Amino acid sequence: MTTTTVPEFQHRTVLLDEAVDALALDGARAGGVFVDGTFGRGGHSRLILSKLGANARLIAFDKDPQAIATAEQIKDPRFTIVHDSFATMREALAERGINKVDGILLDLGISSPQVDDAARGFSFRNDGPLDMRMDTTRGMSAAEWLATETAETLEKVIKEYGEERFAFQIAKAIVARRAVEPISTTRQLAGIVAGAVKTREKGKDPATRTFQAIRIFINKELEDLEIGLNRAYECLAPGAIMAIISFHSLEDRMVKRFFASKANVEQPDRRLPIRAVDLPQPELKLLSKMKPSEKEVDENPRARSAVMRVSRRLPIPEGA
């Protein structure tokens, strides 16, 4: 296996050791089948491969063509990269003769190369084309969306996905500006938001929430996560582990609620004549919740909002 680096923009994988350790890649499990649902620049995948046995398999997914190009440089027969969202996991695995896996890792964060490359349009810190697509080969860019969407929908997206209390003012300002000139660059959009947002938390750029909201919407991130959680769960073998790293409250809330829905089963009244074998059984066991250490946050400030939740698929009770 060969390793690669991104020559211009470097990425530091958040909770690298902790996430891979959570998959418990030892003993018989080292020969299993695992999924890295968000390859990024391959930090987790490479470490997983270093711990797997000779007959194991690792299937990785990513929507970003640049991530795919990086993944294709990994020359390891145990490794497969799929250019698609992890939401397609069940179908993609079935096409490769895989029905159940022993572990799934999802790192929901945007990678540093995506943010730092002005040409991708994710960041308000560097001027560039207003694109924001994870997969630049398909779909509508942020600029195209802003040029045609109604003020009401703009407000809804910015408010719900960015948790932005000035969403109405920002949407109104966007509609007013696009009537004068196309909004085609990140600097233009950041300036519009700055003019509409009157106050902001200390140390946070006024455009932060709006850029987050538009990125999430354009890439259907929450829709992918909702579908992906269910598809991932369906692929888990008994005893398999799922570890998910999220970076903002909307994602973490979805992960927390999904895990809880499978782990916390409401029991019927004990006075009812129900056999023990017929009682509802939990399907997941919650293992841990973890945040980056102070040391990691000091070394990589982008890790500060990360939260990792880990659960294990429970065996199906006999007779169920």
Q: Which residues are annotated as a binding site?
A: 42-44, 62, 86, 107, 114
319 Rama class: left (phi>0) / alpha (psi -120 to 50) / beta: left
Q: Dump the DSSP string for 243-300.
A: EEEE-SHHHHHHHHHHHHHHH--PPPPTTS---GGGS---SEEEEEEE---HHHHHH-
For residue 61, CA distances in Å to 55, 68, 275 come to 20, 8, 43
Token code pair at residue 49? 């491969």
Strands ordered across the beta sheet of 101-107: 79-83, 57-62, 33-36, 101-107, 236-246, 307-313, 284-290
Q: Which residues are annotated as a binding site for S-adenosyl-L-methionine?
A: 42-44, 62, 86, 107, 114
Residue type, 204: K
H or E element, residue 240: strand 236-246
